[in-house]
Structure 1
Amino acid sequence: MSVLSHVLLPLCLVFLLMIGMNVFLKPPHFTKFMGKGTSIKRNLLSAAGGIISAGPIYAWYPMLKDLREKGVEHSLLAVFLVNRAVKPFLLPIMISFFGWTFVLALALLTVAGSLCVGFIVGVLVDSRPRHD
């Protein structure tokens, strides 16, 4: 089987997911959810937001700055940024090349690692008084 035929179906799925995410999910959708709820809920929403966020990272910086100015914790922003590494629209291609086990382990470890990074950032930065 040629490489093109091996990648064609996952590539079609990637394009459909990207179109759907760009049409339905915009940065302001995340703004209203990151500041509400319990710590666990906010961390999970932050992780989910990072995973499903699309587009270049620099397009998200103004929204993240606005969230920070509205009082969202640095730890939540860290969780969001780390989870941008998990891209649902790339999963079909990754699975076709690396298999389910590797991709699932990588995604779960990335999410777990993001929560650890968020905790550490929270301890180091959120506990200090703001000077900005």
Structure 2
Amino acid sequence: MKKNRSGLVMLGIVVVLYGVLFFLKPDETLQALGESLGVLKMIIPILLIVFFLMALLNTFIDEKAISKHLGKLSGVKGWLLALLGGILSHGPGYVWYPLLQNLREQGARDGLVIAFIYARAIKIPWLPLMVSYFGWAFTLVYTFYVVLGAYVQGMIVDRLDRKERDV
């Protein structure tokens, strides 16, 4: 199995860029590095939770269970799980990427992963605020179209995956 080294390449590029910028503008580079470390401190707890969830997935849930609920034959149940999971998920989107990659590696369909990511546009804590600014009708129509868009995007990816396999 080919190992994906894109993360290491990206880290190397960032380190080289920080090194070059340090020689050009040391004060601003140190300030930027400090802000980057501040963001890292902020997301570490979320990353730890995601890695804990990944460990639980790897320990207690086998590929057959994931394939059953999120795999090729998951059907309506898979769509509901992906859409509701996306709506209920909190925190920055990028902290979910390792978990979603893990699910894909264990057999989850790409279309369901796309639907999950797209459905994250609905933020339950913000819905009351949206209602107060825009009203119930706007909020319901918006939410409906985001869920519909998540489903359509997932279906498009599933069809493209099918065509790719058939070629």
TM-score w.r.t. the length of structure 1 is: 0.70
Which residue is equivalent to 2:102? Answer: 66
Decide whether the 8 Å contact of 1:47 with 1:83 is kept in 2.
yes
Q: Are 2:134 and 1:98 equivalent residues in the alignment?
A: yes
Tell me what 1:5 maps to. none
Q: Looking at both structures, which has the greater relative contact order when contacts are Cα pairs under 8 Å and sequence separation is at least 6?
A: 1
Gaps of 5+ in 1: 1-25
CA RMSD of aligned residues (A): 2.1
Structure ID, larger Rg: 2
What amino acid is the match of 1:94? M
Residue segments in structure 2 that go unaligned for 5+ positions in a row: 1-48
Any conservation in 2 of the 1:74–1:126 contact (CA below 8 Å)?
A: no
| Residue range with higher mean Cα deviation, 85-94 or 36-45 | 36-45
Contact between 2:66 and 2:106, CA under 8 Å: does it hold in 1? no
The answer (yes or no) to whether the contact 2:66–2:107 under 8 Å persists in 1 is no
Greater fraction helix: 2
User: Does 2:111 align with 1:75?
Assistant: yes
Instruction: Give the count of matched residue pairs.
Output: 103
The equivalent residue for 2:68 is 36
TM-score normalized by structure 2? 0.56
Matched-pair identity in %:
38
Deviation of residue 58 (structure 1)?
A: 1.0
* Secondary structure of 2:161 counterpart: helix
Counterpart of 2:104 in structure 1: which amino acid? R
Match of 1:56 among 88, 92, 114: 92
* Cα contact 2:87–2:122 (8 A) shared by 1: yes
Alpha-carbon offset, residue 113 of structure 1: 1.3
CA shift for structure 1 position 49: 0.2
Contact 1:74–1:122, Cα closer than 8 Å, also in 2: yes
